[in-house]
Amino acid sequence: MNRIVPLILAVALFMEQMDSTVIATALPAIAADLGVGPITLKLALTSYMVALAIFIPVSGWMADRHGAKKIFRIAILVFVIGSILCAVASSLPAFVAARFLQGMGGAMMTPVGRLVLLRTTKRSELVSAMALLTIPALVGPLTGPPVGGFITTYFSWHWIFLINAPIGIVGIWLATLYLPAVAPIETPPIDLKGFVLSGLAASGVVFGLSVISLPALPIEVGIGTTVIGLIATALYVRHARRHDAPLLALGLFGDVAFRVSALSGSIFRIATGAVPFLMPLMLQLGFGMNPFESGLVTFIGALGAITTKFMAKRVFAAAGFRKVLTVAATAGAATTAANAFFTAATPIVVVMGFLLFAGFCRSFFFTGINTLAYSEIDDRQVSQATSMSSVLQQISLALGVAVAAAILEAATAIHGRALSLSDFHIAFGVVAALSLLAVLPILRLTRETGAAVSGHRLASAEDEVATEVTVK
């Protein structure tokens, strides 16, 4: 495997993943400069996620039609231009529009970057390569808040966006030099009706859930938009079943490995999306930390995520997808449940120890579940699989924040008081139970599922040959 390929892709995806959360701690400073309230400025967070939801479905078709390498470089360029426009924005509409442009670039970077990896990596090396791409998705959201807090405190919030310019330029340069050229594939005309319906479906659900969980608009708007998104989803399903070449192919779910990856991954990702929302709040409101301190504590999970890169291939080859994913999901649920027992008296070293192990478990799970999705997919369906997987990921992450916010809102309504530490304990308990449900679809896998990618069956065969030789 050419290791520089996944490394280039990982750096670009880290930039996109971190940027989706980095402005969270800078919202008050940005809002003050733009002359609006912090809650109103949350529209900028929402506009970014809506852009992702709208343009991710079409990313696979564009990569096939125009070449994945070309689209990946254009995506970085669009992201960088959006970042610069964010830094120079002087009004709320300009800032929201710039964030939307950033989201357009990010929507292409993630699935197209994964597509480049799949098209240039041997299946036997896919676990190791996917481990590199899993790290940005886990480390980025953890890195964003402390980095945003540090830059805003000691420099200016403008540098949160300006720093993307040199990184993006280097990324385009490295991609031009080292990424293999992935030839365009003959594709049917774009499914325009499918693009409109899928865009309405994904953006409606993501926008609605975002408004419900981060109320920048009346909650009725969030509920109404979510309903519109669900109706559009039903209409898209009807359309896709009748179309010869739908934008998002529902036939992918006929593959057992892809179906299990989509269902189990979405369930676990909802829980994972809730934790970065709950943990900083609990540390700040329940433990009395400031945003920067809480960010430094939660960042320890990133170290746990990085360590899986060095052992993922060997572990999956030795045990196979079914066993490793079951253990990782169960252990991940247990570490989430442990958060329900932390108090201000709990030594911070103990808290960080659990967060470290949690990052380790989640990284193993997502490395495996993301690789499993492509383990038995036909090469001609890879681009559609990357688009479908990315859409499901965005929706499940948005749903995770909405679920966490709903639990806290319900707890305060029932108790009739402000948030307390016990409310967070209840939320973590519910989220842990939800993440444990991710194990159920995995149990439907056979020991041989995805063996050509994990190397598990090959390892077993070699052991049998060795045993026969020994007996003889």
Residues 184 and 295 in one domain: no
Instruction: Label residues 423-439 b or e (16+ Cβ within 10 Å = b).
Output: bbbebbbbbbebbbbbb
Within-domain flag for 168: yes
Please tell me the predicted confidence (pLDDT) of residue 265.
93
Within-domain flag for 167: yes
Q: At 350, give phi and psi (nearest 5°).
A: -65, -45
- 3-class SS at 236? helix
Within-domain flag for 204: no
Boundary of a domain, candidates 190, 225, 241: 190
Please tell me the predicted confidence (pLDDT) of residue 215.
67
Within-domain flag for 290: yes
Residues 460 and 321 in one domain: yes
Say which DSSP state 377 is in: -
Please tell me the predicted confidence (pLDDT) of residue 145.
67
Residues 147 and 287 in one domain: no
Boundary of a domain, candidates 149, 172, 190: 190
Residues 452 and 321 in one domain: yes
Within-domain flag for 462: yes
Residues 287 and 377 in one domain: yes
Residues 65 and 186 in one domain: yes
Please tell me the predicted confidence (pLDDT) of residue 156.
83
Q: Which residues of the chain have pLDDT under 50?
A: 1, 460-472
Contacts of 464 (CB under 8 A, 6+ apart): none
Residues 287 and 186 in one domain: no
Residues 140 and 287 in one domain: no
Which token pair is 26? 């800078």
Domain that holds residue 367: 251-472
Rounded to an integer, what distance in angstroms lies between the CA atom of residue 42 and that of residue 25?
Answer: 11
Please tell me the predicted confidence (pLDDT) of residue 471.
42
Residues 305 and 178 in one domain: no
The sign of the dihedral angle between the CA atoms of 377, 448, 6, 439 is positive
Rounded to an integer, what distance in angstroms lies between the CA atom of residue 28 and that of residue 87?
Answer: 15
Q: Please give the model's pTM, rounded to 2 decimal places.
A: 0.80
If one counts every other C-beta atom within 10 angstroms of the C-beta of residue 221, the result is 15
Residues 260 and 393 in one domain: yes
What angle (nearest 5°) sits at the alpha carbon of residue 471, between those of residues 466 and 472?
100
CA distances from 63 to 52, 74, 100, 225, 422 (A): 16, 11, 21, 30, 48
Rounded to an integer, what distance in angstroms lies between the CA atom of residue 431 and that of residue 266?
Answer: 13
Within-domain flag for 163: yes
Please tell me the predicted confidence (pLDDT) of residue 74.
93
- Helix, strand, coil shares of the chain as percentages rounded to 5? 85, 0, 15
Locus of tokens 């990085």: 306
Residues 369 and 443 in one domain: yes
| CATH code of residue 89 | 1.20.1250.20
Within-domain flag for 348: yes
Boundary of a domain, candidates 171, 190, 209: 190
Q: What is the dihedral of CA 296, 301, 304, 306, to 10 degrees?
A: -80
Within-domain flag for 272: yes
Residues 158 and 269 in one domain: no
CA distances from 165 to 92, 133, 161, 391, 459 (A): 22, 21, 8, 26, 45
Number of structural domains in the chain: 2
Rounded to an integer, what distance in angstroms lies between the CA atom of residue 230 and that of residue 63?
Answer: 27
